[in-house]
Structure 1
Amino acid sequence: MTTPQKPVRAAGCVLWRRAASEAGLEIALVHRPKYDDWSHPKGKLKRGEDALVGAVREVAEETGMDCRPGAPLPTASYLANGRPKQVRYWAAEAVAGSFTPSDEVDRLAWLSPTDARARLTQERDRPLIDALLAALHLA
């Protein structure tokens, strides 16, 4: 009998800022050249790290933005390289900072909710935009 693998623990944010666009906000997506994908900023938690602390750290590392975390959003559970992975998400408003490309994240795009939904590579990331809009009472 095989023991179920413990899920990889990760956390991230649906990062947003106020804008003159649709719904009055823009959502940040990051491009990771290693996977050639567009996603919300997220990453693995360090051993013993609180999920919210890790989510804010990942946003800073991947986008250069300081953020103000808000409402929790749905947790994503899926297989990554054959291992179960759980990613906890929060809504987070970008409050300051600037993006610097790196080997991990080479591009940052600020998009309307409609454009962000279309650009996301993984279908599982799209409902997080609706959850953000609901949390901000914009849906």
Structure 2
Amino acid sequence: MPTPEYIQDLRRDIGHKELLLPAVTAVVLRRVGEDAAPLADPEVLLVRRADNGDWSATSGILEPGESPATAAVREVAEETGVSARPVRVASVADHGLVVYPNGDRCRFTDICFEMEYVSGAPRVADDESTQVGWFSTSELPEPLTRQHRQSIAAALDAGAPTAFDP
């Protein structure tokens, strides 16, 4: 999904000034194979972004009134066609100021979820990505940002308490 309409409305009023926005990252993990046997290395669902070519976990902005867990499920379905369920909050972080090519400035408070794969074959389901696929967590593709590597690591630490930015 492109920039939500409510943010476009805000931008008409405030221009390129910095916005603080709630966001989610959904790290969808597959820990068992199709034969129901545990995988030696869990697999993570990644998308290749259309805007910059980077690989990333599924992420997006919350809609007004939407809970973070609901947003994570929605973003995964919208971007990959996969159904996943939230397991836990893996991390909460501010990854710094983002300045877009058009001059818009945003800072995202990111809630990262460890997500469990439920069903569906991964596919490019919107115009935000050019590729979607499963990757062994021991062989992640490049380019993959530090932010998404940290999110994947936090999600892989099953059962650990939520990690917070210092």
TM-score higher than 0.5: yes
CA–CA distance in 1 between the matches of 2:69 and 2:143?
22
1:76, distance to aligned residue in structure 2 (A): 2.8
1:6, distance to aligned residue in structure 2 (A): 4.9
The match for 2:142 among 76, 95, 119 is 119
Letter in 2 for 1:64: G
Question: In the alignment, which residue of structure 1 is the partner of 2:98?
Answer: 80
Question: In the alignment, which residue of structure 2 is the partner of 1:31?
Answer: 48
Deviations 1:43-82 (A, max 9, x none): 1111121111101100111111111210211123121223
1:133, distance to aligned residue in structure 2 (A): 2.0
**Between Structure 1 and Structure 2, whose CA radius of gyration is higher?**
2
CA contact (8 A) 1:120 1:126 kept: no
CA–CA distance in 2 between the matches of 1:123 and 1:29?
14
Is 1:13 the equivalent of 2:26?
A: yes
CA–CA distance in 1 between the matches of 2:152 and 2:25?
13
Relative to structure 1, the CA distance from residue 27 to residue 136 in structure 2 (aligned partners, 3 Å threshold; closer, same or farther) is farther
CA contact (8 A) 2:122 2:133 kept: no
**Number of corresponding residues:** 132
Q: Which runs of 5+ in 1 are unaligned?
A: none
TM-score (norm 2): 0.70
SS at 2:129 equivalent: coil
User: CA RMSD for the aligned pairs?
Assistant: 2.1
Q: Which runs of 5+ in 2 are unaligned?
A: 1-16, 100-104, 161-166
Is 1:54 the equivalent of 2:77?
A: no
Question: In the alignment, which residue of structure 2 is the partner of 1:105?
Answer: 129
CA–CA distance in 2 between the matches of 1:29 and 1:136?
22
When you count helix as a share of all residues, which structure comes out higher? 1
Relative to structure 1, the CA distance from residue 125 to residue 96 in structure 2 (aligned partners, 3 Å threshold; closer, same or farther) is same
CA–CA distance in 2 between the matches of 1:92 and 1:111?
15
Question: In the alignment, which residue of structure 1 is the partner of 2:102?
Answer: none
1:129, distance to aligned residue in structure 2 (A): 2.2
CA–CA distance in 1 between the matches of 2:157 and 2:122?
27
Letter in 1 for 2:97: L
Identity among equivalent positions (%) equals 30
Question: In the alignment, which residue of structure 1 is the partner of 2:157?
Answer: 134
1:136, distance to aligned residue in structure 2 (A): 5.4
